[in-house]
Amino acid sequence: MDDKLKKSANTSAEQIIEWGEAHSIETCFERAEKLKPCPIGESGACCRVCHMGPCRLIGKNAEEEARGVCGATLATVVSRNFLRMIAAGTAAHSDHARDMAMTLLSVAEGEAKDFKITDVKKLYKVADILGIEFEGRPVNDVAKDVALKFLEDFGRQKGELNYVKRAPKKTQERWKKYGITPRGIDREVVEAMHRTSIGVDHEPDHLLTHGLRTALADGWGGSMVSSDITDILFGTPKPVKAEASFGIFKEDEVNLVVHGHEPTLAEIIVDVVSDPAIIEYAKSRGANGINLGGMCCTANEILMRHGIPTAGGFTNQELGIMTGLIDAITVDVQCIMPAIAELSKKFHTKVITTSKKAKIPGALHVEYDEHYARKTAEKIVRMAIDNFPNRKTQGSHITDKFPVIAGFSQEYIEYMQGGRWRASFRPLNDAIISGRIRGVVGLAGCDNPRVPSTGLHRYLATELIKNDVLIVSTGCGSAACGTAGYLTPENALENAGPGLREVCEAIGIPPILHVGACVDNSRILTIVTAMAAEGGLSDEIGGMPAVGIAPEWMSEKAIAIGAYFAASGVPCIFGGESPVGASKEVTKLLTETWVERFMGSFHFEPDPEKILALAFDYIDKAREKLKLRKYEPGKFGAERVLMDMAARREIEKAGVPHAGVGGINESES
């Protein structure tokens, strides 16, 4: 990795940070420098579950000797802490999902009149999976049944989540064998909190096993439910072109940013900003128009569906305000730094909280309610417009931006590999079998001011594609790649290994597929499930040449995601110091016992080069076990001149069909 990297690997971000330092404006980067992590808490050795403590289990022989006042061992404390992280992450994704289900119900009952069912085909697909009759029935009746069926998943006490049956049979059998099939979402989270309270569950393996059950309630519950309902309401993503980085803000237009995670209000705002009357109003206040942009995962939601530009991920939120160009920023839930409210006072930016669940001291509050969504959206857009004349000249104005192609849902990935009638995962599986593609990595999770922010994502993305690994990215992993200019098909031509490049070129895709927000990690589960069903690789999720990596994670949500991937059979490697590092016993459970039981694992590794080596090792060993051809760098695509993207577009413009994946000469393999 480039050790010249400073606080951020993003040059524009770095410029803004420097501008801030010169103007005595503090950001998370300075705070991270000043506030070093507590090494005891960081490694999971601090117990705060009762008021006899906090007990800090440290010392040379802490593993064997240290005990809390109640007698809890280090392994108990570490696993309790880890389970609580999983529970919190699961709660966040799932409470978001609950709101999506409530919105779907309100739409179906005609109470949320500003929304409609946009993707009826997806509604029918979901109804079919849920065993709900849909043919010949009014769309809203089907939608109501789907919403109610999903809502059952939250309060169910017995049985299993609706979507457990979407997993490959063998994966389901492993879950049953080890008792981690999730029952109800709320039940698993509540039980996790109960078990980790003072004096209940003390056996590390037992605690962590429930951690996996709780995490599965996120991956195959909350997150998957949320992605599917969002598709039903607002459309299943397909590739769109957009832009990323701070240069998306316009000097002469009202800049409104939507930040957080929930897509509903943002969807209505997308609509409102193109209303001619509102644009006229903006003009009456001296602006040339209204420019909508996004931040974090709300950005990903509207980027995937409407091509709305993104200013980037988590660590860009303060920096965006420091451009001095944002007239208003709405924030809903999750990953919002409270610091932005105070920071905004140094500029003219209005910070507007919109969720019933989340307020920030110093911010304005305009509460969103799905029953009068448009009215709220109009109010917010007008607030941004009214604030435009207050824009001051100060700010670190930045103009760089990069093209981005996003919108790769499972449905579209299937479609792009065979068209409407032959949609399948065959070409991808074949490319993996032949060794053109070495394996698949899910590059996900946050960006983090404790490392050169976005730098680990960039390093790994570059190295992985150079080594013929296809990447599916989500959340701030996608934002990191987008703001580096990596989310374009041209990136395949310039930086991908020859085998991966050949496949990307034939299909016309980037080597990094932006599959959505953090809740859309569930799309990766269904993609790998479809690959298993297609045949030729593993017949369960475990055993695939696939790895999950979150090199800069910081949120409890990331831990829940890593745990549901591990339970589903995917080895996961997270960056940074290990939150279970204080206990060898717990580390062994996550990295060895889980592999034996579920074929997935959970590693923490701060060194990005070691993350890469471990990912290759998992992929190559999986290939070997599946008896696939040994991956040979440079074997494919090097011996002939490939058509570049420009030539390809010329041909497309002229209406001449180009080779699809089927056009790859299979005799090479």
Count of Cβ atoms closer than 10 Å to residue 472 Cβ: 27
Q: Helix 556-568 crosses helix 204-217 at what angle (to 10 degrees)? A: 100
Pick 476 or 513: Cβ nearer ligand BF8: 476
The first and second tokens of residue 156, run together, are 């169910």
Which three-class secondary structure state does DSSP give residue 200?
coil
Backbone phi, then psi, for 617, in 5-degree steps? -60, -45
Task: Tell me if 563 contacts ligand BF8 by CB under 6 A.
Answer: no
In angstroms, what is the minimal distance from the CB of 477 to ligand BF8? 7
Nearest to ligand BF8 of 231, 332 (CB atom): 332
Query: Which H or E run contains 322?
Result: helix 317-322
* Choice between 518 and 537, CB closer to ligand BF8: 518
Q: Say how far residue 434 (Cα) sits from the centre of its chain.
A: 29
Taking CB under 6 A as the criterion, which residues in 599-638 touch ligand BF8?
A: none
Q: How far is the CB of 446 from ligand BF8 (least distance, A)?
A: 3
- One of 91, 512, 558, 572 touching ligand BF8 (CB under 6 A): 558
Stretch that binds ligand BF8, among 75-83, 147-155, 337-345, 550-558 (CB under 6 A): 550-558
Query: How far is Cα 579 from Cα 84, in angstroms, rounded to an integer?
Result: 12
Binding window for ligand BF8 (CB under 6 A); candidates: 63-71, 508-516, 555-563, 618-626 = 555-563
Interface residue with ligand BF8, options 475, 508, 516, 542 (CB under 6 A): 475
What x/- string results for residues 91 through 130 when contact with ligand BF8 is judged by CB under 6 A?
----------------------------------------
Residue 298 vs 410, nearer CB to ligand BF8:
298
Kindly indicate which of the ranges 263-271, 337-345, 402-410, 551-559 contains the residues binding ligand BF8, using the contact rule CB under 6 A: 551-559
Shortest CB 401 distance to ligand BF8, Å:
20
CB within 8 Å of 251: residues ≥ 6 apart: 325, 397
Closest CB to ligand BF8 among 308 and 500? 308
Per CB under 6 A, does 480 bind ligand BF8? no
Answer for which of 214, 483, 555, 583 binds ligand BF8 (CB under 6 A) is: 555
CB of 517 to ligand BF8, least distance (A): 6
Residues of span 211-270 touching ligand BF8 by CB under 6 A = 261
Q: How far is the CB of 617 from ligand BF8 (least distance, A)?
A: 25
Among 225, 352, 513, 518, binds ligand BF8 (CB under 6 A): 518
Q: How many CB atoms lie within 10 A of CB 662?
A: 14
- Report the nearest approach of ligand BF8 to the CB of residue 480 (Å): 9
To ligand BF8, the closest distance from the beta carbon of 48 in angstroms equals 22
User: Which residue, 175 or 602, is less far from ligand BF8 as judged by CB?
Assistant: 602
| Residue 455: both structure tokens together | 């730098």
The contacts found for 662-665 with CB under 8 angstroms, 24 or more apart, are: 662/418, 662/427, 663/506, 664/427, 664/431, 664/436, 664/502, 664/503, 664/506
- Position among 296, 337, 398, 406 found at the interface with ligand BF8 (CB under 6 A): 296
86 makes contact with ligand BF8 (CB under 6 A): no
Cis, peptide link before residue 54, omega less than 30° from 0: yes
Tokens of 311: 């200013």
Run of H or E including 611: helix 608-625
Tell me, what amino acid is at 478? S
For residues 171 and 223, which CB has a smaller minimum distance to ligand BF8 in the complex?
223
Minimum CB distance to ligand BF8 smaller for 497 or for 551: 551
Is residue 313 within the footprint of ligand BF8 (CB under 6 A)?
A: yes
Q: Which is nearer to ligand BF8, 201 or 262 (CB)?
A: 262
CB closer to ligand BF8 out of 184 and 551: 551
Binding mask 420-449 for ligand BF8 (x = CB under 6 A): -------------------------xx---
| Nearest alpha carbon to residue 465 among 449, 489, 446, 447 | 489
Could you give phi then psi for residue 444, rounded to 5 degrees? -135, -175
Give the one residue of 117, 192, 297, 343 binding ligand BF8; rule: CB under 6 A.
297
Q: Please report whether residue 476 would count as binding ligand BF8 according to CB under 6 A.
A: yes
Can you tell me the distance from the alpha carbon of 456 to that of 406, in angstroms, rounded to the nearest whole number?
A: 21
- CA 536 to chain centroid, in Å, comes to 28
**Residue 328 exposure: Cα atoms within 13 Å on the Cβ side:** 26
Q: Which residues contact 368 (CB under 8 A, 6 or more apart)?
A: 264, 265, 332, 354, 355, 356, 376
Task: Please say whether the beta carbons of 438 and 635 come within 8 A.
Answer: no
Question: Which residues, other chains included, contact 154 with Cβ-Cβ below 8 Å and sequence gap of 6+?
Answer: 94, 98, 101, 184, 185, 186
Shortest approach of ligand BF8 to residue 301 CB, angstroms?
Answer: 10
Residue with Cβ nearer ligand BF8 (127 or 335) = 335
Burial of 460 (0-12, 13-18, 19+ CB in 10 A): buried
The residue within the footprint of ligand BF8, chosen from 246, 314, 388, 598 (CB under 6 A), is 314
One of 123, 335, 343, 480 touching ligand BF8 (CB under 6 A) = 335
Least Å from the CB of residue 260 to ligand BF8: 8
Residue 474 Cβ, how far from ligand BF8 at the closest point, in Å? 7
Three-state secondary structure call for residue 353: strand
**Secondary structure class of 198 (helix, strand, coil):** coil
Sheet bearing 328-331, strands edge to edge: 290-295, 254-260, 328-331, 350-353, 364-365
CB of 27 to ligand BF8, least distance (A): 15
Q: Which stretch binds ligand BF8 (CB under 6 A): 101-109, 125-133, 536-544, 553-561?
A: 553-561
Identity of the residue, 402 or 553, whose beta carbon is nearer to ligand BF8 in the bound complex: 553
Closest distance between ligand BF8 and the C-beta of residue 93, in Å? 8
Q: How many CB atoms lie within 10 A of CB 426?
A: 18
Please state the closest distance from residue 557 (CB atom) to ligand BF8, in A: 4
Q: Under a CB-based contact definition with an 8 Å cutoff, are residues 167 and 220 in contact?
A: yes
Binders of ligand BF8 among residues 498 to 517 (CB under 6 A) are 517
Considering the rule CB under 6 A, would residue 557 count as an interface residue with ligand BF8?
yes
Which candidate, 265, 406, 244, places its Cα nearest to that of 329?
265
Q: How far is CA 235 from CA 136, 383, 606, in A?
A: 21, 28, 38
Beta partners for residue 244, in sequence order: 310, 402
> Total number of residues binding ligand BF8 (CB under 6 A)?
16
CB of residue 473 to ligand BF8, shortest distance in Å: 10
Stretch of 118-126, 127-135, 356-364, 554-562 contacting ligand BF8, by CB under 6 A? 554-562
* Helices (H) then strands (E): counts for the chain: 29, 15
Range list of H helices, 324-451: 339-344, 373-387, 410-416, 426-434
Residues near ligand BF8 (CB under 6 A): 261, 296-297, 313-314, 334-335, 445-446, 475-476, 517-518, 555, 557-558
